[in-house]
Amino acid sequence: EAQVTQNPRYLITVTGKKLTVTCSQNMNHEYMSWYRQDPGLGLRQIYYSMNVEVTDKGDVPEGYKVSRKEKRNFPLILESPSPNQTSLYFCASSPRTGSTGELFFGEGSRLTVL
Amino acid sequence: AQKITQTQPGMFVQEKEAVTLDCTYDTSDPSYGLFWYKQPSSGEMIFLIYQGSYDQQNATEGRYSLNFQKARKSANLVISASQLGDSAMYFCAMRGDTGGFKTIFGAGTRLFVKA
């Protein structure tokens, strides 16, 4: 089954404790990206990647890191989480890097930082 | 700068009636794509429909159609014959051919379908 898989789905952590949210897709998509969803703000892009070893900042990259060492994986790293990073996070992939590519989303990861 | 505006935080529609969800956008890209996604209460994001900026005809996918008015920079979603399962959050999104192919989203419209 074609899918984007994120883990963990739910996480409660404390300020400053490094964490990684994994994302993996089995559709051989070149384009992958991370979003955070907050009430009233829609989804905002954190980072994206157009291919292996090619990543770039989205609109809200502060406090996050990513890497793209393999085509299928695109982990999101919070080196020192803070309460303002409490959010619902989505990983997504797309079959095309241009403007025609719809996004395939993972199921979301709800993160709470205390 | 690119921007998506959805001015309807919430809407009600009677089952079996049609409903239009508004979306306006702003971009300097000459070529771009417009998308609608559905988020049911279970939380997943589901792609509904796509419209290219150079497409002459409005996109349709089953009960979904996109009313694209390029001069007015609007890309409204029309759902015909609403069903109870259409109750969800709906997001309008845009992706340009420049600026790193970022996708930006509107704040969303929550649709409630009444029986």
With a pLDDT cut of 90, the percent of chain B lying above it is 84
Average pLDDT over residues B79-97: 95
Nearest chain B alpha carbon to A107: B44
CA distance A76 to A68: 10
Q: Does A97 touch chain B (CB under 8 A)?
A: yes
Q: Does A4 touch chain B (CB under 8 A)?
A: no
Average pLDDT over residues B57-75: 96
- Residue of B23, B24, B45, B46 best to disrupt the A interface, most CBs of A under 10 A: B45
The values of phi and psi at residue B101, to 5°, are: 55, 35
Which residues of chain B are within 8 Å of residue A40 when distances are taken between CB atoms?
107
Query: Residues 6 or more apart from B71 whose CB is under 8 A from it?
Result: none
pLDDT score, position B101: 72
Contact indicator for A7, A105 with CB cutoff of 8 Å? no
Of B37, B94, B97, B32, the C-alpha closest to A50 is: B97
Which of the 8 DSSP states describes residue A73? B
CA distance A94 to B103: 11
Which of the 8 DSSP states describes residue A62? T
Which token pair is B57?
Answer: 């005809």
Which residues of chain A are within 8 Å of residue B45 when distances are taken between CB atoms?
43, 90, 92, 103, 105, 108
pLDDT tens profile A61-105 = 999 999 999 999 999 999 999 999 999 999 999 987 677 788 999
pLDDT tens profile A28-48 = 999 999 999 999 899 999 999
pLDDT score, position A82: 97
CB contact under 8 A, A58 and B102: yes
Name the CA dihedral angle for B1, A83, A74, A53, rounded to a multiple of 10 degrees. Answer: 60
Among B29, B45, B96, the residue with its CB nearest the CB of A90 is B45
pLDDT score, position B102: 80
CA distance B3 to A87: 22
With a pLDDT cut of 70, the percent of chain B lying above it is 98
Among A41, A44, A102, the residue with its CB nearest the CB of B47 is A102
pLDDT tens profile B20-60 = 999 999 998 888 999 999 999 999 999 999 999 999 899 99
CB contact under 8 A, A31 and B101: yes
CA distance B19 to B16: 10
Which residues of chain A are within 8 Å of residue B101 when distances are taken between CB atoms?
31, 48, 50, 97-99, 101
- Residue of A3, A33, A43, A89 best to disrupt the B interface, most CBs of B under 10 A: A43
